[in-house]
Amino acid sequence: MSTFGAYARLIRIGWVLAREGVITALPSENLPALARLGQSAAGLLAKPRAKKQERSDRLARAVGRLGPSYVKIGQFLATRPDVVGADFAADLAFLQDSMATFPMADAVATIEGALGRPVGELYTRLDPPIAAASMAQVHPAFVLRDGREEKVAVKVIRPGVRQRFANDLEAMYAVSHLQERFVPHSRRLRPVEVTRTLEQTTKVEMDLRLEAAALSELGENTADDPGFRVPKVDWERTGRDVVTMEWIDGVKMSDVEGLKRAGHDLNRLADTLIQSFLRHTLRDGFFHADMHQGNLFVDPTGVIVAVDLGIAGRLGPKERRFLAEILYGFITRDYRRVADVHFEAGYVPGHHNVASFAQAIRAIGEPIHGQPAETISMAKLLTLLFEVTELFDMETRTELVMLQKTMVVVEGVARSLNPRFNMWKASEPVVGQWIADNLGPKRIITDLKASLHAAVRLAEAAPEIAAKTEAFSREVTLMAEHGLRFDPLTAQAIGKAEARHTRSGRVALWVIAGLLAYIAYLIS
């Protein structure tokens, strides 16, 4: 997509946000004078009813007008309070991923195109959709197994969503580049990298084979876990644009009264939920990263079933150890250890003072421990932690932010079940056991095994490494003697790309100037 197209989309986004009163609701502190002037001008464009709405309502209405891609973008930004701020992240978290359904004919065409067979051969019956989101919609269906019908859920990708998202992503990249250029203090948040993460996350989410693989992996990891499971995948009826899985009969966790009527122990469910999440994170390094109430069911036996695994998170062994030590440090009030872990992990630049950072961590931990157990909130802890890490130049760690967001959401679900839920008490058995198993003698044996395995792989690769090093040395010698040269085709391609970029940039700037002049005319 051209530069002009990206800027045109930016202007449309700005117009919709201004009309729905979102821009006027943005915090104005720390904004340059020109930006504050633009915010005031945007207030003149807002609809009268928009000025009376809550900010979250304005956001939801604006995002709905912009389309499905922006619902997904908004939900992603809700996971990044470090980028958009805690208040706006909370508002964005209320975005409902509920869109209009698309026609049955389109769903049938997508299924047959993805699986290469007529729908009548795949299912004995395919019913109309019962839910539609920004990326896909879900149909109840039936398949024949061992001579009897079995109900399944069929998730079908929304037609054309990939191209629409690719176009909208160009505008996101334009915004992030402008932010890095003109808002220096935001560079530590790496907005371009955040956009790149959004692109990768959504590409994965739009390939339903990968969601099926994630369900399968999580299912294997949790096969012996008490009180938690995920639906089974029907691989015969799964492709890039469609996934078929077990139908779940149960009560949504958002229906607290329904859970009570079904006789479920809400306190036990709250503990099981947070312990399951921590078990997946610390033990397996692989977790469901979208565990809100709408994606969690409780089956008739009292087992929690998590669905819609389009977004998953991973942590490596080192990150898991750091996470466990940080959590355990807060639980046991060992703030120096929490600070040391941040420095060991490289989360805080080494030029800062460890003792000063530990003092800042204590300022977070002590007020929380001074509260009644049921009011100790992970959300509050993370909000304070974001504020402190900014003082110490801590850069965004994408994998940790996704984990932190999911932990906050899971804690919120647990508190909806049990208002007196104690996050720390529920977490301690899982975290403490992991610490005992992985940071004691067992860890030494595991590290030795890993080191031995790495040494064997290095020895196997040694001949190839030597050959590549020798070839690289020859190339460097030739470069030193004759200079760096491009072949004619490469030089020609670079020249054309630069000329095209310059032309499109000039055109885009003139179009933007014209549109802004038109808006100014409307205001006057």
For residue 268, which of 407, 419, 377, 418 has the smallest C-alpha distance? 418
CA angle 196, 200, 203 (to 5 degrees): 135
* Residue 17 lies inside a defined structural domain of this protein: yes
End-to-end CA distance of the chain: 34
Question: What domain range includes position 28?
Answer: 3-97+162-204
pLDDT digits over 392-436, tens only?
Answer: 877 666 666 677 778 878 888 898 899 888 877 888 888 878 878
State the amino acid at position 510 in one-letter form. W
**Encoded tokens for 302:** 């009292």
Active site annotation includes 271: no
Token duo for residue 373: 């157990």
Per-residue 3-state assignment (H helix, E strand, C coil) for 22-48? HHHHCCCCCCCHHHHHHHHHHHHHCCC
Does residue 141 lie in a domain region? Answer: no
Per the DSSP assignment, residues forming a β-bridge with 141 are 126, 152
Q: Flag whether 501 is in a domain.
A: no
Judge if 185 and 307 occupy the same domain.
Answer: no
User: Rounded to an integer, what distance in angstroms lies between the CA atom of residue 94 and that of residue 61?
Assistant: 11
User: What is 423-484 written as a DSSP string?
Assistant: HHHHHHHHHHHHHHHHSSHHHHHHHHHHHHHHHHHHHHHHHHHHHHHHHHHHHHHHHHHH--
Assign 226 to helix, strand or coil.
coil
Alpha helices in 222-288 (DSSP H): 256-261, 266-279
Last residue of a domain, one of 204, 232, 267: 204
pLDDT in tens, the chain (524 residues): 455 666 676 777 777 777 777 767 666 665 666 666 776 776 666 776 655 566 556 776 777 777 777 777 777 677 666 566 666 676 676 665 567 889 999 999 999 999 999 999 999 999 999 988 888 999 999 999 888 999 999 999 999 888 888 877 877 788 788 777 777 766 766 778 778 877 877 788 889 999 999 999 999 999 999 999 999 999 999 999 999 999 999 999 989 999 999 999 999 999 999 999 999 998 999 999 888 888 899 999 999 999 988 888 888 888 888 878 877 787 788 889 888 888 887 778 888 899 998 998 888 778 766 666 566 666 566 666 666 766 787 766 666 667 777 887 888 889 889 988 887 788 888 887 887 887 765 555 555 666 666 666 767 777 777 777 777 777 767 666 666 555 566 666 656 655 555 555 555 544 444 544 444 444 44
Regarding whether 314 and 194 lie in a shared domain, the answer is no
The verdict on 199 and 324 lying in the same domain is no
DSSP string, 350-382: TTS-HHHHHHHHHHHHHHHHTS-GGG--HHHHH
User: Does 27 share its domain with 172?
Assistant: yes
Residue 220 lies in a domain: no
Catalytic residue chosen out of the listed positions 82, 168, 234, 290: 290
Cα separation, 173 vs 180, in Å, equals: 11
Q: Domain end: 384, 413, 439, which one?
A: 439
Q: Please give the tally of structural domains in the chain.
A: 2
Residue 483 belongs to a domain: no
> Same domain for 171 and 319?
no
**Does residue 297 sit in the same domain as residue 188?**
no
Shared domain check, 311 and 174: no
Domain match, 274 and 380 both: yes
Task: Give 325-334 contacts, CB < 8 A, sequence gap 24+.
Answer: 325/435, 325/439, 327/427, 327/431, 328/431, 328/432, 328/435, 330/365, 330/368, 330/381, 330/424, 331/424, 331/427, 331/428, 331/431, 333/365, 333/366, 333/369
What is the SS3 assignment for 125? strand
State pTM to two decimals: 0.70
In a domain, 476, yes or no: no
Residues 405 and 315 reside in one and the same domain: yes
Domain-ending residue, one of 177, 204, 231? 204
Q: Which of helix, strand or coil describes residue 346?
A: coil
Of 350, 413, 337, residue with least CA distance to 378: 413
In DSSP terms, 16 is beta-bridged to none
Co-location of 86 and 192 in the same domain? yes
Q: To the nearest 10°, the Cα dihedral for 300, 303, 309, 315?
A: 180
Domain check: are 196 and 258 in the same one? no
* 332 occurs within a structural domain: yes
Same domain, 173 and 288: no
Q: Is residue 521 part of a domain?
A: no
